[in-house]
Amino acid sequence: MSGPNTNYDPVEVSALDPANVDSAVQEALAAIAAAASLDDLKAVRIAHQGEKSPLALANREIGALPPSAKAEAGKRVGQARGRVGQALSARQTELEAERDERILVEERVDVTVPALRRLTGARHPIELVAQRLVDAFVGMGWEVAEGPELESEWLNFDALNLGPDHPARQMQDTFFLDPVDSGLVLRTQTSPVQIRTMLEQEPPIYIVAPGKVFRTDDLDATHTPVFHQIECLAIDKGLTMAHLRGALDAFVRIMFGEDTRTRVRANYFPFTEPSMETDFLCFACHGEETWGSAEPCRTCGGSGWIELGGSGMVNRKVLRTCGIDPDVYSGFAFGLGIERALQLRHGVQGMHEIVEGDIRFSQQFGMGA
Amino acid sequence: MRTPLSWLAEYTDLAPGARGADVAASLVSVGLEEEDLHGGDITGPLVVGRVLELEEQVQKNGKPIRYCVVDVGQNGQMLTEGKHQEIVCGATNFEVGDLVVVVLPGAVLPGGFEISARKTYGRMSNGMICAEDEIGLGHDHEGIIVLSRLLGEERAASLSPGDDAIALLGLADETVETNVTPDRGYCFSLRGLAREYWHAQGSPEGGFRDPAAVVAPDANGDGYTVELKDDSPIDGNEGCDRYVARIVRGIDPTRQTPSWMARRLTQAGMRPISLAVDVTNYVMLAVGQPLHAFDVDRLSGSVVVRRARVGEKLTTLDDVERALNVDDLLITDGGEQPLAIAGVMGGASSEVSDTTTDVLIEAAHFDPTTVARSSRRHRLVTEASKRFERGVDPKVTAAAAQLAVDLLVEHGGGTVDPGVTDVDRTTDRVAYRLDVTEPSRIVGVDYARERVVGILRDLGCSVDEQGAGTDDRHILVTPPSWRPDLVDAPDYAEEVARIDGYNNIPSITPTPTEGRGLTHAQRARRVVADALAGFGLTEVLSYPFVAEGLADQLMLPVDDDRRQAVRLANPLSEERPLLRTSILASLVDTLRRNVARGQKDVAIYELGLVFRPGGPLGTAPIPSVATRPDADTLERLYAAVPAQPRRAGILATGQTEPAGWWGPGRAADWSDMVAAVQTVASALAVPVVVANDPGHAPWHPGRCARITLLDGTLVGHAGELHPKVVAALELPARTVAAEVDVDVLIAASAEPVQAQAFSTFPPALTDVALLVASDVAAADVESALRSGAGEALESVSLFDVYEGEHVEAGRKSLAYRLTFRATDRTLTTEEVNGFRDAAVASAASATGAVQR
């Protein structure tokens, strides 16, 4: 580098010659444009912007100029370095964008290969159907009641107006415990839960009782010795069969859709008087009578209606047994088999798959049915 | 109860053009459930045929097939080219010469089954020899119908090949089968069903003709002596409160049951036997009164009705010798020799036979409870017992006897004795004071007083609107004798609603107040179930019935609580008489079944109750149902019911993380089970402690975790099953399992979680490697670190366990990362080092740990 020299003519310092500066810029711009990668650009940056680049060297020469020449030379070199810097930065951005694009392309995978690397669990649909019904009734202000599966005979039969000689008691095929005089059975219905509730709770009572029940039936397409019921009981002042029908209507709408409705007829159950049998409009064929036709409805068998189950106004004897004054309170009860609801709602044809515990059955339903 | 339409039409007017389905629908509308429809859907030719030749060949499948030549008579031959027909038959219950029922090509059987000549078992079959179920006569498919057995030898003898079997068997007539509920015993008769059908038609004037409206003579002193001597009535009700005896003498024993009667019996599902027996059955079907026919020549003394004595025996009509119970009510000869179990079945000794000429007709009214108990005790459900236990009309007795007498006289050629016995101790029903607004109050439909009164009168009630106790709201109702079920207001309300039409009942959604939603326990159980499913386990349900040997297979110690199981008195299978005391006990079957079906990776759980009597079963009291039992009785009642804790059982085999394109999988191991239990506990925000448990069956002694609450309460066990258990239960090797006491977790999570403040200052991390003896539990080391580290410790995590060449034998290296964080400042390195050293010192003193 030259020392300060007042006689020095800047025009004669070749590095600061406008043409040379311009050429250095042009060379730099060409090199920048030619840089194909960020690494190239890095080399270009060192060559054209680094300490030993022509423009840096030129810049250093400025200091040796006489003050009168410094301003012009400084401006020229400064502009030149500015142009190179801008070009570098623009190319840097461009190349980074290209690289980013490329990485995304390079990192592409086939996301359709199996992704689940662990077993997936599932709930049993019987539980899900029960939960669904329970939730709907809880939403309407009812509460859930439960009781033991191994139950006293008195609560399972006698208190429900099924005395030891009642013909209806013989209809039930009961699992008795050994010794038989223990007075204990596997409950044949969820109704003892109703008795327990009425014995212990003051009306008004609005309960829904889901649970497991037992009968001595061998497993076949329509029977299983262990199955599930859900029963509803309401005890309040002024309840009538119209309220019972209203609750039944709500029940079938929840389970089978808004389009369905009920029809009712008399029946007999010891626990209730008057008693009622309910059918609901087939949700599959909407009540078109297809009986005897070439293709009768597979859901209802062609009658257009599906039997729901028994119900009625709680027998006054039962209320008295539970310490509830039948002249003050009335109430109703109804129930149905959850297996059947599952079969109807989800097209389950038989009983075996429900009870066998084959994981493929539960897994169809996931965590909510 | 089967009702032939033609018979029903005798007692009530059928709607014009009514078919079986219409009649069934009418009966359904008044609450009589339709069971089935029979007959009326056959088009012939269906004829009587005689088997002329038969050649039996056993097929490859071992089944014998008979190639028959059958004479189908004139009628049949006109339809079938005038010759004997070759018919292939799969049944073997007949011989050459038997008369059978043959359906010929062109006929249509019930269900639209069209018959044509077709090749079967290698030969042409020109039709088919019919079984009962094929022609809608019954459900029997044990063999084909042999007419001599169905109709009796004598009636069969009058038949010829070619006779129309549709008319013979009444198959053109439709039969409606209804289910009779226990409160409607009167509907076990044409009389009752005709009345109900008439109600369904709106009870038109004169539309019901009571078959029991016959005049029976009053009792006189000349009848057969009958004594009612029940010295131990049940619940104060005498076993027999009415006994009518009539005698018809000189019946010609060769006389046959008229074909119309035989046909009706067949249609109703009963077999014609002999005239005397058929008449009693016919009258029973007509008016609902079971009758019994005794052979007078086989009686020596008066008829005495009494309870059985200890040690007495009776051979009943079904040829079974029955040891009688002192509660059985008997019909006896002179008070000694038992003749019949009252209302259930007669004895063989006094049975009418093919030589009987003098018959004593018994029409009696027996106590429902007495009959029900005898029927149940002797496992003998008969047409008579079904009716008596539901209640027979105590006023129809004499009329029924008269109907039987008339039929025996007319068709048997007998003469009735002038003596009439009618011991009648029945009492008249007391009128019930009914509030006429009660039906509206119960049903929710506004019934006018006139409507209520009108319906009750149609039902046969007598209604007094003037007598003492009546006013503008109250009437006196006396139910008809055939309706013992009508007792109080709800009974009458049901009748009004039923006849008015149940479908007139409106639908009003009840509106409870103050629902509190699910309880904590109910919500918590869903959390547990969902957490387990979310963990990758599939929920299943298993039967709780287990085998006696299972406790040994599970290697339960002799004094283990889980050996104290409840035993069923009547298990479905003698091989599984016990109720499970753990969920795993029944879940192993489910796992095995899945594996047997080719599933390799099976991870299942079940939430359910287990039965833990904790000793011999107590006896649950059976208090009166008249009032609420007292508190003490209820306490004993509840206490007699064994404990039934709710458990979750988990079993897994195969891979918990399957192999795939990413590489090898990971087999389910003990740690998955511990993790599952921890997942459930943390889902309920319940802290738990894990410890090694070397002695808890059925787990592997070196791979079993005992999981407890912080206070030591047992939550459950998890780990790998004992290899011997795995072998004994034939489970896949290395099957892992856990069982959790859900009730404990629910109780532990009952209080609302109280939130802890957390620091927003930066954490300080430091690692320590500790050498401990190999048998020191990591959980103990961690617990010691925690207790020594001070309040600033945020977490401890074990990130490496090493045993091997860089560590001396008998020791292992545990590497922990300790995270510290203060609530009020950023910790300095010096502070953190101090905490760490304190933690290590604590571990050193508690477990002998040495920092590496």
Tell me the per-residue pLDDT of B433-468, one tens digit each, with 9 for 90 and over. Answer: 999 999 999 999 999 999 999 999 999 999 999 999
Residue with token string 């003990």: B670
Q: With cut-offs at 50, 70 and 90, classify the pLDDT of residue B260.
A: confident
With CB atoms and an 8 Å threshold, state whether B505 touches A181.
no
Percent of chain B with pLDDT over 70: 99
With CB atoms and an 8 Å threshold, state whether B529 touches A127.
yes
Phi-psi sector, B236: left (phi>0), alpha (psi -120 to 50), beta: left
pLDDT mean over B192-220: 95
Q: Closest Cα of chain A to B637: distance in Å? A: 7
Residue with token string 């091997």: B804
Neighbours of B659 (CB within 10 A): 11
Decide which of B173 and B575 is more confident.
Answer: B575
Decide which of B423 and A260 is more confident.
Answer: B423
Can you give the pLDDT at residue A289? 62
Check whether B806 has a pLDDT greater than 80.
yes
Check: CB of residue A343 under 8 Å from CB of residue A129.
Answer: no
Please tell me the distance from the alpha carbon of residue A195 to that of residue B841, in angstroms, as a whole number. 62
Q: Closest Cα of chain A to B645: distance in Å? A: 9
Can you give the pLDDT at residue A204? 96
B390 close to A (CB below 8 A): yes
pLDDT mean over B294-299: 94
What's the pTM?
Answer: 0.83
Decide which of B313 and B63 is more confident.
Answer: B313
B contacts of A274 (beta carbons < 8 Å):
442-443, 490-491, 493-494, 497-498
B498 close to A (CB below 8 A): yes
Check whether B171 has a pLDDT greater than 70.
yes
With H, G, I as helix, E, B as strand and everything else as coil, classify residue B441: helix
With CB atoms and an 8 Å threshold, state whether A206 touches B512.
yes
B519 close to A (CB below 8 A): yes
- Return the residue of B nearest to A361 by Cα: B540
B657 close to A (CB below 8 A): yes
With CB atoms and an 8 Å threshold, state whether B512 touches A234.
yes
B573 close to A (CB below 8 A): no
Can you give the pLDDT at residue B280? 97
Please tell me the distance from the alpha carbon of residue A312 to that of residue B160, in angstroms, as a whole number. 56
With CB atoms and an 8 Å threshold, state whether A317 touches B625.
yes
Decide which of B708 and B807 is more confident.
Answer: B708
Check whether A4 has a pLDDT greater than 90.
no
Check whether B138 has a pLDDT greater than 70.
no
**Angle of the B20-29 helix axis to the B190-200 helix axis, nearest 10:** 80
Can you give the pLDDT at residue A167? 62
Q: With cut-offs at 50, 70 and 90, classify the pLDDT of residue A95.
A: very high
Q: With cut-offs at 50, 70 and 90, classify the pLDDT of residue A9.
A: low
Can you give the pLDDT at residue B564? 95
Pairs of CB atoms within 8 A across A/B: 295
Point out the residue among B514, B529, B637 whose CB comes nearest to the CB of A154: B637
Can you give the pLDDT at residue B493? 96
Check: CB of residue A67 under 8 Å from CB of residue A13.
Answer: no
Check whether A8 has a pLDDT greater than 70.
no
Considering only A296-310, A311-325, B598-612, which range has the smallest mean pLDDT?
Answer: A296-310
Chosen from B518, B566, B573, B641 to mutate, greatest number of chain A CBs within 10 A: B641
Can you give the pLDDT at residue A294? 64
B455 close to A (CB below 8 A): no
Please tell me the distance from the alpha carbon of residue B803 to that of residue B812, in angstroms, as a whole number. 5
Can you give the pLDDT at residue A154? 96
Residue type, B839: A
With CB atoms and an 8 Å threshold, state whether A362 touches B526.
no
Complex ipTM tops 0.90: no
B contacts of A329 (beta carbons < 8 Å):
none
Can you give the pLDDT at residue B638? 96
Residue type, B219: A
Name the nearest CA neighbour of A137 among A262, A239, A230.
A230
Q: Closest Cα of chain A to B518: distance in Å? A: 7
Neighbours of B100 (CB within 10 A): 26
- Return the residue of B nearest to A363 by Cα: B538
Q: Closest Cα of chain B to A199: distance in Å? A: 8
Point out the residue among B490, B538, B657 whose CB comes nearest to the CB of A118: B657
Quick: pLDDT tens for B317-341.
999 999 999 999 999 999 999 999 9
With H, G, I as helix, E, B as strand and everything else as coil, classify residue B292: strand
Helices then strands, each counted (H, E), chain B: 24, 43
Considering only B132-136, B266-270, B310-314, B395-399, which range has the smallest mean pLDDT?
Answer: B132-136
B386: exposed, middle or buried (C-beta count within 10 Å: 0-12, 13-18, 19+)?
buried
Q: With cut-offs at 50, 70 and 90, classify the pLDDT of residue A240.
A: very high
Q: Closest Cα of chain B to A280: distance in Å? A: 12
Please tell me the distance from the alpha carbon of residue A362 to that of residue B11, in angstroms, as a whole number. 56
Helix ranges (DSSP H) in chain A: 18-34, 38-49, 54-62, 67-106, 125-139, 153-156, 167-171, 191-200, 241-256, 316-321, 338-346, 352-356, 359-363
Q: Closest Cα of chain B to A107: distance in Å? A: 17
Point out the residue among B508, B515, B655 whose CB comes nearest to the CB of A242: B508
B627 close to A (CB below 8 A): yes
Quick: pLDDT tens for A244-267.
999 999 988 888 888 888 899 999
pLDDT mean over A116-141: 93
Task: For residue B429, give both structure tokens.
Answer: 């029903």
- Return the residue of A nearest to B543 by Cα: A226
Name the nearest CA neighbour of B351 among B276, B289, B286.
B276
B403: exposed, middle or buried (C-beta count within 10 Å: 0-12, 13-18, 19+)?
buried
With CB atoms and an 8 Å threshold, state whether A126 touches B541.
yes
Check whether A221 has a pLDDT greater than 90.
no
Helix ranges (DSSP H) in A107-229: 125-139, 153-156, 167-171, 191-200
Can you give the pLDDT at residue A1? 45
Residue with token string 């076990």: B188
Quick: pLDDT tens for B26-65.
999 999 988 888 877 787 788 898 999 888 888 888 888 8
Q: With cut-offs at 50, 70 and 90, classify the pLDDT of residue A293.
A: low
pLDDT mean over A63-72: 82
Chosen from A216, A261, A267 to mutate, greatest number of chain B CBs within 10 A: A267
What pairs with residue B144 in β-bridges?
B131
Percent of chain B with pLDDT over 90: 76
B250 close to A (CB below 8 A): no
A contacts of B594 (beta carbons < 8 Å):
357-359
Check: CB of residue B732 under 8 Å from CB of residue B724.
Answer: no
With CB atoms and an 8 Å threshold, state whether A242 touches B505.
yes
With CB atoms and an 8 Å threshold, state whether B569 touches A176.
yes
| Beta strand segments in B565-698, E | 567-568, 578-579, 602-609, 646-653, 655-657, 666-667, 688-692
With H, G, I as helix, E, B as strand and everything else as coil, classify residue B643: strand
